[in-house]
Amino acid sequence: MIPTAHIEVKEEGIIAKTVLMPGDPLRAKFIADTFLENVCKFNNVRNIFGYTGTYKGRKISVMASGMGMPSIGIYSYELFNFYGVENIIRIGSCGAYTTDLNLYDVILCTEAWSESSYAKVQSGYEYDTIAASLTLNSKLNKIAEDLGIKVHKNRIHSSDVFYRENFDEYKDIYTHHGCTCVEMESFALFHNANILGKKAACLLTVSDNLVTRELTTSEERQGAFTNMMKIALEMAE
Ligand code: HPA
C-alpha cells in the first residue's frame, strides 16, 4: 500500500529497483544534482529527500537513510517491503580503527559486526554478524576494478553509539572482532534485506581516523565522496 508512514510516493513504479542510500539528505540531493538526468523528487517527508533519475540512461533512485539503525531500519524496510525495491546500496562515511586506512579510502563491506539488539528485536536473530549480499558485492568489486578505484574489502563495526565514554574501546573491537572501521547503519540494513528476501551492500569512505584523530569537514565530505558514488551509480539498471 502506498504511501507509507515515512515515504510519500504519489505514483506507482516511481522508485527504481536499485536505491543508493547516503545518510545525509543533502548528499542525496548532491548525487541527484551532479550525476542524474531526468530527475524526479519522490520524497520530502522529514526532509529525507528521495530522487529517481537516469545514470548513463539507466534508472536508479537515491534516498537518504538518516543516521543510525532505527532510522535506516524504517526507510529500508518500507522501500523493500512496500515499494518493490530489490537492492539497496548504502554509501556512507566511516571512522577508521587502523592506520592501514587513510582519509577518503573506500571500503566495500563484506560483513557488519554489531552489539546492536536490532536484529534480535526485529525477528529473534541471535548472532552479532551479518554478511552483505555476495551478488551485489561481486558486481561492485568488478565495477571498482573497471573504474580503477581501489576498494578495501573489510568487516566493519555497526555501532549504536557515536560518543562513547571510553574512547579507547574501539581498540578491542578492532583486535577481537576484526572490524577496520565504524559506521552506524549496515547491520540493520543487511538484516532487513535478509528477512525480506532482498539484497543489500555498503560502500564507505573514510571521513575520520580514530587512531590519528584526523577529521574531514562536512563541506569536504559532501564533494569528496565521488569515487564511492561513481562505483554505486554503475549499478543503475
Ligand atoms: N563513529 C561512528 N560512525 C561514524 C564515524 C565514527 O567515528 N565516522 C563516520 N561515521
Pairwise CA distance, residues 106 & 90, whole Å: 13
Residue 174: what are its φ and ψ, rounded to 5°?
A: -65, -50
Close Cβ partners of 153 (under 8 Å, ≥ 6 residues apart): 107, 108, 110, 137, 141
208 is catalytic: yes
Tell me, in angstroms, the distance from the centre of ligand 1 to residue 182's CA.
Answer: 5
Ligand 1 atom 9, closest CA: 94
* pLDDT tens digit at each of 237 positions of the chain: 578 889 988 888 999 999 999 999 999 999 999 999 999 999 999 999 999 999 999 999 999 999 999 999 999 999 999 999 999 999 999 999 999 999 999 999 999 999 999 999 999 999 999 999 999 999 999 999 999 999 999 999 999 999 999 999 999 999 999 999 999 999 999 999 999 999 999 999 999 999 999 998 877 776 678 999 999 999 999
Residue closest by Cα to atom 10 of ligand 1:
94
Residues having CB within 6 Å of any atom of ligand 1:
93-95, 159, 162, 182-184, 207-208
- The reported pTM is 0.97
